[in-house]
Amino acid sequence: MPGGPISFELEIPAHVERLANGLTVVVSPQRGIPLVTVDVTYDVGSRVELPGKTGFAHLFEHLMFEGSENVGKGEHFRLVASAGGTMNGTTSEDRTNYYETLPAECLDLGLFLEADRMRALVLTQEKLDNQREAVKEEKRLRIDNQPYAPSFETADALAYDAFAYKHSVIGSMDDLGAASLDDARRFYETYYAPGNALLAIAGDVEPAEAFRRARAFFDDVPARGKPAPFAVVEPPPTAERRAEVPDPHAAVPALHLNFKVADRRHPDLFALSYAEKVLGAGESGRLWRRLVKDDELALSLTVALDERRGPSLFRFFAIARPGVAPERLEAEILADVTRLAAEGPTPREMERVRRVITAGAIRATQTTQAVAFLLSEYGVYDGDPNLWRRDLDEVLSVEAEHVRDAVQRWLVAARRSVVTVRPAEAA
Amino acid sequence: MSAVRVPPPPGPPLPFSLPRFEGTVLPSGLAVRAARWGSRPTVAAAIVFPGAGSTADPPDRDGTADVTGDTFLGGTRTKTARQLAEALDDLAAVADVSAGTDSTVARLYVLESDLDAGLALFAEILTEATFPEEEFDKGRRRLIAALKEQRSEPDFLARERLYDRLYPGHPYGTVSPTEKGLLTLTRDDVAEFARRRLSFAGATLVLAGAADPGALLAAATRAFGGLPATSGEPGFTVPPPPRVEGFSIHLVNRPGSVQTNLLFARPAIARRSPRFPAAVVANQSLGGGASSRLFHVLREERALTYGAYSSLATRVLAGHFGASIDCRTEVTAEALGGLLDLIRAFAADGPAAEEHERAKNYLLGSFPIPRETPSGVVQDELTRLLHGLPEDEFTTWRDRIRAVTREEARDAAAELFDPATGIVAAVGDAGKIRPILEARGETTLWDADGPRA
């Protein structure tokens, strides 16, 4: 067998404590480089937004950088930079996180900043108005002014029925415009409680000392109620859905072909991660090789398993070569899906994907930030940061028959939504 | 326990040392340098061919370096393109050959357990590539098709116009080959470029991973050591670009744009200059990050943009200072005016004392962050080799940053940032923003397909 058997060691220690106020603290010592990443992940994402309030979770993320009781406006950025650190926040459908990567001797600063904004964020109308404009610019920059970007919103809206995943993280201009200071206060009270958050400390730290410091900064953050559990539930699939998007910025047509599949960590999703790579990964992924390289039908093709806490999406996105109709791309993609459903992957493809998954896990855990993100996600979603390692072993034990069966079960017409994007004249 | 009310001071600084590279030179002339770095069983490797970038494109053969890099995976004496792709994927290895302006770099990422097999494949790609006609044609058709799609992206249009005007008539002025240029190229041009410019004489293979450097060197020798001595034409054959004079604005019309993308650039400083650290510190105060002046004023105070930044770009034969802001069409005048006014004020007065200290602290403290991984330290070594920097460039870098005085930063800003000289490239809806730009300076209108309107 090319490549030979895989043997690898990949252990990432994760120690867990729960503070009296409900905050979960995870410490992962990563020795070698004197850096530490402090990450606070809140169990709130755009999925909790209601109609008329879209984009709010992300807008609120911006407000978290605008100052708290002991940190003035603009001071967060200055304090982190002065310490030689980097920082940011990100909002997804399923969670929001905030992080600093700092010289290890500046761990206290990261803890101070995160504790202060968890305990006593200062919200004002002026800050809200200022960040509302910054977020609107972000939406124009990343979505409204880019080719194809708006069509991803259409594709999600078409694929999902539940509002949670039907709308985009960035939200609508109207809803951003209507967001009020009262909304922000309520959101903070509801979702930014220590019991709804996880603090991860990954890097050049000694666990007992790191826990001691975490308690010193977070113990006096008052406990607040935890929001009710939230789940995204979709009705049973019935029929294929289709939509067309005229795109004034696109030069050539494109195609989204999505299948609504199971929640993350469902055993069939482990199997579908093989289908994703057999079709689209590396230089030899079947469909990518054929459409992009050999048959010259697509400029680019992305095959991605978009894993979510609720129903996930198995996505295909292809940009056509000039002169190729999106209908042709659709037929070609479906032909390969049908073949995979009938025959499953070859033994060589299975070995190749196992190796790709192994190498991916090794390469994706080389930095303190990546480790903090990985442990936080499992800690918040599943209550156990160490679960990722068991999942990795489970993924690596998937057999070809399971991949074939999962493709047969999930990549079917009733679960399919298709969006064709066609160039349109600018207004 | 009561809350901590003031930002806690840092503890005693912890030492951070870069790895020491060990080296050898193989009979082919290929130098090899290896270092132990990181804790995961994976290896990052790269070969830099200095001089083999777009600056080495033969006359009337724009795009040769680009297409050559792109065609390396087209097949070898014993493998077709598909077999090569499968062989790489069987190892979960990633290999890539790509040309920049000043060099071609070939990269390989491979698991430590597959190091020998990965390097053998890497050597096969680099020494036995056959550049088959069919694969060359396919690659060229793909690049031509991609050109059309690229023209729908505002970032591409802005960069294309900025570089074209900043380095007129020089290879540095081209960010992407043209369709006309690509159609002139032949498969033989590519094979000839590879033979002459991608010679191991003058090239260096850099490896880093958790393995012992001796083991990395031995593996490199097993893969590349049997090759005979090579000769080629390394080095730079084009003169440095002329320095742009005066100030001008170039507007690329993109009807229907809801934003204006604005880039500014002007000639600055070479990477080798002893004053480069002072320029880096000054740039950090002005626009290096979210705590810098441009971001603070233009986003946090004035809500004109999602982000405004400045940077220093270095080529081997030149360097430039650049700044960027994207804004909604309606506030184009305020954004461009704000950006240029802030740069002008900074060039006149330099950083405030507090800005200067913060910039230095940031650069010193954050130094390890991009160097957490083997590929981070490999990148340092590639930069050092490409720019001809001394062996201790990165081990002494923080000492030189620490030594930069506020006066030196101010002097660097005065000489290198002043926007009285430079190019503005704007991409947006010309029907709405042309008069605004004309009020700021001589403005030339271009269409998105490239030519002057």
Residue B450 has pLDDT above 50, yes or no: yes
Say if residues A285 and A278 touch (Cβ distance below 8 Å): yes
Report how far Cα B98 is from the mean position of its chain's Cα atoms: 12
The string of pLDDT tens digits covering residues A314-354 is 999 999 999 999 999 999 999 999 999 999 999 999 999 99
Test mutation, A58, A351, A363, chain B, max B CBs within 10 A: A363
pLDDT at A1: 44
Restricting to B residues 314-333, those with a Cβ less than 8 Å away from any Cβ of A are 326-328
A 10 A CB-CB count for A222 gives 10
Mean pLDDT of all residues belonging to chain A: 96
The string of pLDDT tens digits covering residues A244-262 is 999 999 999 999 999 999 9
User: Looking at chain A, which residue has its C-alpha nearest residue B429?
Assistant: A426
Please state the rounded mean pLDDT for residues B105-125.
Answer: 97
Residue A3 has pLDDT above 60, yes or no: no
Residue B453 has pLDDT above 80, yes or no: no
Q: Are strands B247-253 and B422-428 parallel, antiparallel or unpaired?
A: parallel
Q: Kindly state whether B85 is in contact with chain A, defined as any CB-CB distance less than 8 angstroms.
A: yes
The minimum CA-CA distance between B111 and chain A, rounded to whole Å, is 7
Q: What is the distance between the alpha carbons of residues B38 and B44, in angstroms, rounded to a whole number?
A: 10
Residue B332 has pLDDT above 60, yes or no: yes
The minimum CA-CA distance between A71 and chain B, rounded to whole Å, is 8
Q: What is the distance between the alpha carbons of residues B88 and B82, in angstroms, rounded to a whole number?
A: 10
Q: What is the distance between the alpha carbons of residues B308 and B300, in angstroms, rounded to a whole number?
A: 10
Q: Which helix (H) or strand (E) holds B370?
A: none
Report how far Cα B335 is from the mean position of its chain's Cα atoms: 26
Strand partners, B308: B325
A 10 A CB-CB count for A373 gives 21
The string of pLDDT tens digits covering residues A73-121 is 989 999 999 999 999 999 999 999 999 999 999 999 999 999 999 999 9
The string of pLDDT tens digits covering residues B279-325 is 999 999 999 999 999 999 999 999 999 999 999 999 999 999 999 99
Enumerate the residues of chain B whose CB falls inside 8 A of the CB of residue A206.
none
Contact criterion met (CB < 8 Å) for A137 and B259: yes
Test mutation, B1, B366, B378, chain A, max A CBs within 10 A: B366
Enumerate the residues of chain B whose CB falls inside 8 A of the CB of residue A59.
none
ipTM associated with this complex: 0.95
pLDDT at A427: 57
User: Looking at chain B, which residue has its C-alpha nearest residue A291?
Assistant: B142
What is the secondary structure of B392-429 as a DSSP string?
TTTTSHHHHHHH--HHHHHHHHHHHT-TTSEEEEEEE-
Contact criterion met (CB < 8 Å) for A219 and B1: yes
End-to-end CA distance of chain B: 69
Amino acid, single-letter form, for residue A298 = A
Quick one: pLDDT band at residue A263, thresholds 50, 70, 90? very high
pLDDT at B327: 97
Q: Kindly state whether B344 is in contact with chain A, defined as any CB-CB distance less than 8 angstroms.
A: no
Residue with tokens 């920049």: B100
pLDDT at A6: 67
Q: Kindly state whether B163 is in contact with chain A, defined as any CB-CB distance less than 8 angstroms.
A: no
The string of pLDDT tens digits covering residues B152-185 is 999 999 999 999 999 999 999 999 998 989 999 9
Q: What is the distance between the alpha carbons of residues A280 and B13, in angstroms, rounded to a whole number?
A: 46
Q: What is the distance between the alpha carbons of residues B11 and B143, in angstroms, rounded to a whole number?
A: 53
Residue A5 has pLDDT above 70, yes or no: no
Contact criterion met (CB < 8 Å) for A366 and B289: no
Q: Kindly state whether B141 is in contact with chain A, defined as any CB-CB distance less than 8 angstroms.
A: yes
Give me the residue from A115, A146, A282 closest to B89, CB to CB.
Answer: A282
Contact criterion met (CB < 8 Å) for A106 and B11: yes
CA distances from B332 to A224, B343, B439, B448 (A): 45, 17, 12, 19
Q: Kindly state whether B175 is in contact with chain A, defined as any CB-CB distance less than 8 angstroms.
A: no
Q: Kindly state whether B17 is in contact with chain A, defined as any CB-CB distance less than 8 angstroms.
A: no
Enumerate the residues of chain B whose CB falls inside 8 A of the CB of residue A8.
41, 111, 113
Mean pLDDT of all residues belonging to chain B: 95
Quick one: pLDDT band at residue B230, thresholds 50, 70, 90? confident
Q: Kindly state whether B20 is in contact with chain A, defined as any CB-CB distance less than 8 angstroms.
A: no
Quick one: pLDDT band at residue B237, thresholds 50, 70, 90? confident
Enumerate the residues of chain A whose CB falls inside 8 A of the CB of residue B4.
70, 108, 112, 115, 216-217
Please state the rounded mean pLDDT for residues B10-19.
Answer: 93
Nearest to A28 by CA among A176, A166, A199, A159: A199
Enumerate the residues of chain B whose CB falls inside 8 A of the CB of residue A103.
10, 13-14, 365, 368
The string of pLDDT tens digits covering residues A57-78 is 999 999 999 999 999 998 999 9
Q: Kindly state whether B109 is in contact with chain A, defined as any CB-CB distance less than 8 angstroms.
A: yes
Quick one: pLDDT band at residue B264, thresholds 50, 70, 90? very high
Q: Kindly state whether B41 is in contact with chain A, defined as any CB-CB distance less than 8 angstroms.
A: yes
Contact criterion met (CB < 8 Å) for A32 and B39: yes
A 10 A CB-CB count for A126 gives 11
